[in-house]
Amino acid sequence: MKEGITTARRYHDISCGHRVYGHESKCAHLHGHNYRIHFEIQGELDSVGRVLDFSVIKSLLCMWLEDYWDHKFLVWENDPWAETLLRLDPTGTVVVPFNPTAENMAEYLVMVVGPARLLGSGYKLVKCEIEETRKCSAGFSRGPVL
């Protein structure tokens, strides 16, 4: 039994719009960020000595961001503007089951996207940190799983 936990990390940059429903000030407006999204994976080492190859993190998680969130507009399904935004831009609007704060986006990636994309593998997405700006970030962690 090892005394420590091995992790592998990779980040990916996307541009994405959102509005935070119920926000007290400017985040209630339609706006966007150049998000930097950090993924952290835990798992057993393979025969080569890796949690998993960095290119696999890219193909499974970074490319999910490219396909589903990059250059899209995230809006909460309970936001009263959701229907209108979807009508204006059906392919560019992504209706999500959470108010799209960085905190909720990180939790969704760890709890929904990670398990779906890494299903059946020997490793897990355990943490996601989302920088909305270079100064502000939020994250979600499911804690040690091994």
Segment contacting Zn ion (CB under 5 A): 26-34, 51-59, 71-79, 114-122? 26-34
Q: How far is the CB of 33 from Zn ion (least distance, A)?
A: 5
| Listed residue (12, 37, 29) closest to 137, CA to CA | 37
| Listed residue (56, 40, 66) closest to 128, CA to CA | 40
User: Which of 7, 10, 27, 68 contacts Zn ion by CB under 5 A?
Assistant: 27
- Give residue 75's identity as a one-letter amino acid code: V
Residue showing the smallest CB distance to Zn ion in the complex: 27
Please report whether residue 138 would count as binding Zn ion according to CB under 5 A: no
In the numeric block, the tokens 């420590």 are attached to 4
Distance, CA of 11 to CA of 58 (rounded, Å): 9
Q: How many residues bind Zn ion (CB under 5 A)?
A: 1
Give yes or no for a contact between 35 and 11, defined as CB atoms under 8 angstroms apart: no
Residue 45 — φ and ψ, nearest 5°? Answer: -75, 145
Q: How far is the CB of 18 from Zn ion (least distance, A)?
A: 6
Segment contacting Zn ion (CB under 5 A): 9-17, 24-32, 34-42, 93-101? 24-32
Q: Which is nearer to Zn ion, 76 or 123 (CB)?
A: 76
Q: How far is the CB of 63 from Zn ion (least distance, A)?
A: 24
C-alpha to C-alpha distances, 30 to 18, 19, 26, 33, 89, nearest whole angstrom: 6, 5, 9, 11, 13
Q: How far is the CB of 100 from Zn ion (least distance, A)?
A: 8
Please give the residue ranges that form the binding site for Zn ion (CB under 5 A). Answer: 27
